[in-house]
Amino acid sequence: METEKLDKYMRGKKGVTVRKLGKYTRYLLNDKMFAMSFDLKSRGRVLSLKKNKENKLDCTQFADCIAPSAELEPLHWNDFYLDGGIPDGVLFAAIDESYALILSELPEIVQKMLDPKEPSYKYAFKNFDLVKIMRKNAEKEREE
């Protein structure tokens, strides 16, 4: 699969930020990493994805292209070798699962803000009103 296609897909997810550190490109959701890509001399481009304990994806037929991560904690991360052995659909499903796993760990209000079905401005105004109330209360306490 083309690296640019994967990069565009991951960047297109709501709330994703990208940080580069040396050879590593990290994809973050609310400052929590759900994917990391880098080049490996022996295998080419690698995509590390957070894995679910239940691991709903059946990747047994791609055993030579998917392995426990060599760069991250192998109990929690898988490396996907992007040398052409994994179909696009499997990669996209694994990315979606990794993103959903990190999303489920975030506070409920953040999850709602990142829900593609909900307009994020709806929750931004709620939070803004809360901040205004907190500031007024702090000002009252200072006056007393």
Contact between residue 34 and residue 102 where contact means Cβ atoms under 8 Å apart: yes
Give the CA distances from residue 99 to residues 51, 103, 106, 125, 142, in Å, rounded to whole numbers and listed in that order: 10, 6, 11, 25, 43
| pTM as predicted | 0.74
Domain-located, residue 76: yes
74-129 pLDDT per residue, tens: 778 888 888 767 888 888 988 999 998 998 888 887 777 777 665 544 444 444 45
Q: Would you state the pLDDT for residue 55?
A: 57
- DSSP code of residue 107: -
Domain-located, residue 129: no
d(CA 125, CA 103): 21
Q: Would you state the pLDDT for residue 121?
A: 47
Q: Would you state the pLDDT for residue 118?
A: 56
Number of structural domains (the chain) is 1
Q: Would you state the pLDDT for residue 125?
A: 47
Domain-located, residue 56: yes
Domain-located, residue 75: yes
Q: What's the average model confidence in pLDDT over 121-143?
A: 59
pLDDT confidence bin for 57, thresholds 50/70/90? low
- Write the CATH number for 81: 3.90.1150.30
* Helix/strand/coil percentages in the chain, nearest 5: 40, 25, 35
Average pLDDT, the chain: 78
Contact between residue 45 and residue 1 where contact means Cβ atoms under 8 Å apart: no
d(CA 71, CA 80): 12
Q: What's the average model confidence in pLDDT over 33-56?
A: 83
**Tokens standing for residue 67:** 């392995």
Q: Check pLDDT > 80 for residue 54.
A: no
